[in-house]
Structure 1
Amino acid sequence: MTRIPRVPLALGLAGLVPFVWGAVTVLNDGLAAWGSQALGPRFVGPYVQLFYGSVILSFMSGVLWGFATKANGAQAATGYVLSVIPALWAFFMTGGGPTSAGLNLIFGFAGLLMLDFAFFRWGLTPRWWMRLRLLLTAIVVACLAITVI
């Protein structure tokens, strides 16, 4: 693996803010109250994590679709099929209460990491891809775990 370029790293880390903010507001009632009043109740605790997590899984489906365009034949077809799984997972599995939806997001991000690895092994991603995805996924899963425990 090679070093992660600055821009993708900075954007990836910035994309963690809603997950970290949600976890912090779960742990701190005062900050949750402030955030709810200042930003609205949908932007604190599990609510911001669940909505944003669904958006990110859908976004990552698009990223994987883009990687699939680099493949040919059966590998391309497999890549396209696999690329839609995160978005479908988010759509079907994040309803219900915050605990079950949060757990399903954890499973979704773990599954996404496996898909990332498959596309990486097929040589369709940048060489630094898994280093970035491991870092981001670990933080996302940790933040979601704080919320569902």
Structure 2
Amino acid sequence: MVAAARRRVLRDGDREIDTAHLLHSLLEHDPQVCALFDGPQLARLLGYLVQRSIGYGLRWRGGVEDSGALPVVGPNAPPVEGLSPLAAVALERAGARAARRDGGPARGADLLAAIVDDPRARAVEVLTRAGVDVPALRTRLGDGPQEPAGE
């Protein structure tokens, strides 16, 4: 997911990968994540994310995505070059969630759960504008297996 997000950052001329880039990559590459949204929600989400490079995300340019809470990463973790502080935290939390589950690699749903954990994440703003009930999504993601939307 990070490689796809990095390509999008380079193509769009953004400074760093943020949570909206990660969300966009998840929606493009992970069918299990897509299954968490109904058809119209998925279309709206992709519409908002595509608009990012032509206007919607322009107000984010030049700014750093940060929740304002300190510390944003573990006390011994160096800043991750090319990632917003919130994106770095989301990746760290996705790995920790996978470790708690079965010790395997993080899945797309692990990353999505970590992304929506901070209400100030840009991805949460996109989800909210697209009509996604983010608290309900957080509940559905929980710590267990993922259920597709409408089931």
TM-score, L = length of structure 2: 0.31
Is the helix fraction higher in 1 or 2?
A: 1
